Amino acid sequence: MNWHRGEIVTRHSYGHDLLFRVQKVYNNQAIIYGENFRLEADAPLDDLKRVQNDERHKIERQVRQKEATSYRMFRQDYYLRSFRDYAQPTSVKEEDVAQFQLCPKVLHIDGDALFLKKCVMLYKRLGLQVHGIHVEESEMPLKIKELMEKVQPDILVITGHDSYSKQKGEEHDIRAYRNSKYFVESVREARKIEPSLDQLVIFAGACQSHFESLIKAGANFASSPTRINIHALDPVYVIAKIGYTSFMEKVNLHDVINKTITREKGIGGVETRGLFRIGLPYMKGLPVTNEKSKEE
């Protein structure tokens, strides 16, 4: 049986529970990427099964439902926050001086070009300004300084694919992980430029990543505390919560994690201040968040 890059498959050994796409075929092995989860794995070709359209649509429908739930939770939270903020009395009447909203700048570096595209689309739906750049995981530590100096972000996302292999070592041994070491090195390089966890907020990691090492390296939020697979869009919901929390407040850790798809088993973090600012007066040309332009 001939296998081709981009084919959608499941695995016999895992009960066909997740969709994968074939990335590379060599000898009798394939490197496969999770279609909706940030997982990279090696698999023997005889463990793979091509997925028919009806089966694919069934699995994807379940994933879309979880995505929709997270999106609705975020939108509801955003509008409640907006109502609360605008309901506060001010010394200046709202009809006299218009306000503008200043959102943080996001640099999202992703090892998967397709996932990056999906994430950028969601950032835009949520009204966040983002610079998305595709970089292979092994190249990230080498390019992080140049990219940060060019973009000068308030929030940095370092993600892609990862996985843990029992054959390579114990769970605490970072050498047993496919790409965790590159994520950790990238976080360290970023912290050389900006050490403060409040001046630069970092999300790092992918499926089954070495959570402890990422936090120790300086990430505000990371995956994966219980070494489970995280959804491709989980980093975006974390960033959106930070981006729309006032700089006068701390991000509610339980709240932000509960709005992700994989929740506390897949995402963890440390106390972090928000990065959202309101200013006045509004002037044409200011970088604002226009609520009317956002999708419902």
Q: Above 90 in pLDDT, residue 76?
A: no
Mean pLDDT value across residues 285-291: 56
Q: Is residue 153 part of a domain?
A: yes
Residues 110 and 36 in one domain: no
β-partners of residue 40 are 33
Q: How confident is the model at residue 28 (pLDDT cuts 50, 70, 90)?
A: confident
Question: Is residue 296 assigned to a domain?
Answer: no
pTM: 0.77
pLDDT confidence of residue 296: 39
Query: Looking at the structure, do residues 39 and 179 belong to the same domain, yes or no?
Result: no
Contacts of 294 (CB under 8 A, 6+ apart): 125, 126, 127
3-state DSSP helix/strand/coil percent for the chain, to nearest 5? 40, 20, 40
Mode of pairing for the β-strands spanning 29-34 and 20-26: antiparallel
Are residues 228 and 108 located together in one domain of the fold? yes
Q: What is the mean pLDDT of residues 96-118?
A: 88
HSE of 286, CA atoms in CB hemisphere, 13 A:
17
Domain count, the chain: 2
Greater pLDDT, 98 or 164: 164
Which range has the top average pLDDT, 32-46, 180-194, 239-253, 260-274? 180-194
Nearest to 38 by CA among 213, 154, 203: 203
Domain shared by 271 and 213, yes or no: yes
> Is there a single domain that holds both residue 23 and residue 123?
no
Helix (H) or strand (E) holding 214, with range, is helix 211-217
Tokens 């992700």 belong to which residue? 260
Identify whether residues 30 and 93 lie together within a single domain: no
Round the average pLDDT of the chain to a whole number and report it. 84
pLDDT band at 170, cuts 50/70/90? very high
Per DSSP (E only), the strands in the chain are 8-11, 20-26, 29-34, 40-44, 48-50, 100-102, 105-110, 129-134, 155-159, 201-204, 221-222, 268-269, 277-279
Give the tens place of pLDDT for each residue, 117-130: 989 988 988 888 99
Q: Domain span at residue 42?
A: 8-51
Does 111 share its domain with 256? yes
User: In this predicted model, which residue has the larger pLDDT, 10 or 181?
Assistant: 181
Q: Kindly state whether residue 210 falls inside one of the protein's structural domains.
A: yes
- Say if residue 28 is in the same domain as residue 139: no
Residues 33 and 171 in one domain: no
112 vs 122: CA distance, rounded Å: 15
Question: Are residues 225 and 106 part of one domain?
Answer: yes
pLDDT score, position 89: 45
Per residue in 133-164, pLDDT tens? 999 999 999 999 999 999 999 999 999 999 99
Q: Are residues 160 and 218 both part of a single domain?
A: yes
User: Whose CA is closest to 201, among 131, 271, 134, 126?
Assistant: 271
On whether both 103 and 44 belong to a single domain, the answer is no
Q: What is the CATH number of the domain that holds 109?
A: 3.40.50.2300
Beta strands in 65-200 (DSSP E): 100-102, 105-110, 129-134, 155-159
